[in-house]
């Protein structure tokens, strides 16, 4: 990788990290905090609040991606981060579950993921793109681990209001990074074609990728409706959850690296993807049938996060290579739309299924969806490196 590619990957990973850290600070504690809100004793509404930002993102990812193809990546990044910050500050004053849901929707309206990923693809060559996406994915995973350690402690110190306000401050810091650290993208050799990106997103190979990210985030958010209360029930208080999460997530990074290196160097993403999806299915099946203590939960969560981290790095690399450069923002917008709709449906389905059928049914639903993904991914075709055209900055 050139110095410019390393700089682009590091700065964009930092922006993702600051934004996702704010979101992740909410995830481990909101289900436990929700009964303190007016209306927060309704588990279905708690699930909606967790996933609500995904609904707004699902609606706006494609428009944001198309806007970045037409007007440039950086201006659209600024706009999205500003909207996200406004939602965060609204959440800081929420006293009831409906205001919290509204705040999460406004956070989601800052739908910059497709723009940032398109910019990462603009600034890197195809043969290094999985590395850059792995940098972004690893940063997101690191922020997740940090939030699992820090969120319960910060919640005790500054409350949910303080956590939402911290979201807004982190977004402002991310805007400064966009201004001073992220390189400007090269000019496209061809005229921007957002409609072409949308058409390509309906081709079979991209549909497989989009279906996969949709299912992956349904599973993640459905699990986090039920996993924090499970840990409390197993004897691990909320402020002690980091003792399980931190070693599990850090170990999952170590397990992720050989798989990503193999997929990148050998250009063989299919066996890595299939193996990760199969591992995910196994973890969900076992979580649904085993009466798990803390030790068993730790092992199964390690399997889950190892698979999750591999897929979070691999899937955006695939979509960026399959999408045409002149319509990349639009195509990645479709990808991120399916991702964030998965967030919404994961939170909603997790809350509804848990309240109607019990915790085990949530894991059964997740396992069934992952098996469906495995079947869809089985017919995946090889992805040549030259399938994506970029003009990365030199240096």
Is residue 394 domain-resident?
no
Cα 44 to Cα 34, 108, 189, distances in angstroms:
11, 19, 49
Per-residue pLDDT at 390:
41
pLDDT for 38-51, tens place per residue? 887 887 788 788 77
Q: Which two tokens stand for residue 250?
A: 């850090």
Give the percent of the chain with pLDDT over 90. 10
pLDDT bucket at 244, cuts 50 / 70 / 90: confident
Is residue 391 domain-resident?
no
What is 182-246 written as a DSSP string? SPPPPPPSS---HHHHHHHTTSHHHHHHHHHHHHHHHHHHHHHHHHHHHHHHTT--GGGTHHHHH
Give 18 or 275, the one with higher predicted confidence.
Answer: 275
Indicate if the pLDDT at residue 251 is higher than 70.
yes
Partnered with residue 96 across adjacent β-strands are 38
pLDDT bucket at 196, cuts 50 / 70 / 90: low
Q: Which two tokens stand for residue 144?
A: 């997740």
Taking the alpha carbons at both ends of the chain, their separation in whole angstroms is 10
Per-residue pLDDT at 386:
46
Indicate if the pLDDT at residue 191 is higher than 60.
no
pLDDT for 324-377, tens place per residue? 666 666 777 788 778 877 877 888 888 889 888 888 899 999 999 999 999 988
Is residue 188 domain-resident?
no
- Picking from 60, 12, 65, the residue whose alpha carbon sits closest to that of residue 333 is 65
Rounded average pLDDT over 179-191: 70
φ/ψ bin of 9: left (φ > 0), alpha (ψ from -120 to 50), beta (otherwise): alpha
Per-residue pLDDT at 104:
87
Return the DSSP state at 181: T
Is residue 209 domain-resident?
yes
Is residue 205 domain-resident?
yes
Task: Please state the pTM of the whole predicted model.
Answer: 0.70
pLDDT bucket at 388, cuts 50 / 70 / 90: very low
Q: CA 147, CA 168: separation in Å to the nearest integer?
A: 16
- Picking from 183, 189, 201, 193, the residue whose alpha carbon sits closest to that of residue 390 is 189
pLDDT for 48-107, tens place per residue? 887 777 778 778 877 887 788 778 888 888 998 999 899 989 988 888 888 888 888 888
Indicate if the pLDDT at residue 36 is higher than 90.
no
Return the DSSP state at 52: H
CATH code, domain with 349: 1.20.1250.20
Per-residue pLDDT at 160:
83
Indicate if the pLDDT at residue 200 is higher than 60.
yes
Q: CA 132, CA 309: separation in Å to the nearest integer?
A: 14
| Mean pLDDT for the chain overall | 80
Q: CA 195, CA 192: separation in Å to the nearest integer?
A: 9
Domain of 219 in residue numbering reads as: 3-183+194-382
Is residue 170 domain-resident?
yes
CB contact at 8 A, 34 and 49? yes
Total of domains in the chain: 1
3 state DSSP class of 42 = coil
Q: CA 152, CA 149: separation in Å to the nearest integer?
A: 7
Partnered with residue 38 across adjacent β-strands are 96
Is residue 47 domain-resident?
yes
């Amino acid at each position: 990788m050139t110095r410019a590619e390393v700089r682009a990957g590091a700065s964009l990973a930092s922006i993702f990290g600051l934004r996702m850290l704010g979101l992740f600070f909410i995830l481990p504690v909101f289900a436990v905090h929700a009964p303190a809100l007016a209306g927060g004793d309704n588990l279905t509404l708690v699930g909606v609040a967790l996933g609500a930002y995904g609904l707004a993102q699902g609606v706006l990812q494609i428009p944001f991606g198309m806007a970045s193809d037409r007007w440039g990546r950086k201006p659209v990044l600024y706009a999205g981060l500003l909207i996200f910050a406004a939602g965060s500050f609204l959440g800081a004053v929420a006293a009831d579950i409906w205001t919290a849901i509204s705040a999460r929707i406004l956070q989601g309206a800052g739908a910059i993921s497709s723009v940032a990923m398109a910019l990462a693809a603009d600034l890197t060559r195809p043969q290094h793109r999985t590395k850059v996406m792995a940098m972004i994915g690893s940063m997101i995973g690191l922020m997740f681990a940090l939030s699992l350690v820090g969120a319960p402690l910060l919640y005790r110190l500054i409350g949910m209001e303080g956590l939402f306000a911290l979201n807004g401050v982190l977004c402002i810091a991310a805007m400064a990074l966009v201004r001073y650290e992220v390189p400007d993208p090269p000019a496209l050799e061809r005229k921007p074609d957002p409609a072409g990106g949308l058409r390509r997103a309906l081709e079979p190979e991209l549909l497989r990728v989009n279906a996969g990210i949709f299912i992956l985030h349904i599973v993640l958010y459905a699990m986090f409706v039920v996993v924090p209360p499970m840990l409390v029930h197993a004897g691990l208080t909320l402020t002690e959850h980091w003792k399980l999460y931190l070693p599990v997530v850090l170990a999952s990074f170590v397990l992720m690296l050989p798989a990503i290196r193999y997929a990148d160097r050998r250009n063989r993403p299919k066996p890595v993807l299939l193996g990760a999806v199969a591992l995910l299915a196994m973890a969900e099946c076992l979580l649904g049938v085993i009466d798990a203590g803390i030790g068993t939960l730790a092992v199964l969560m390690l399997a889950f996060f190892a698979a999750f981290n591999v897929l979070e790095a691999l899937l955006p690399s695939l979509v960026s290579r399959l999408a045409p450069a002149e319509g990349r923002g639009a195509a990645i917008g479709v990808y991120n739309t399916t991702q964030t709709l998965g967030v919404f449906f994961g939170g909603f389905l997790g809350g509804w299924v848990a309240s109607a059928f019990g915790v085990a049914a949530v894991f059964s639903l997740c396992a069934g969806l992952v098996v469906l993904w495995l079947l869809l991914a089985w017919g995946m075709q090889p992805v040549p490196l030259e399938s994506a055209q970029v003009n990365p900055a030199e240096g």
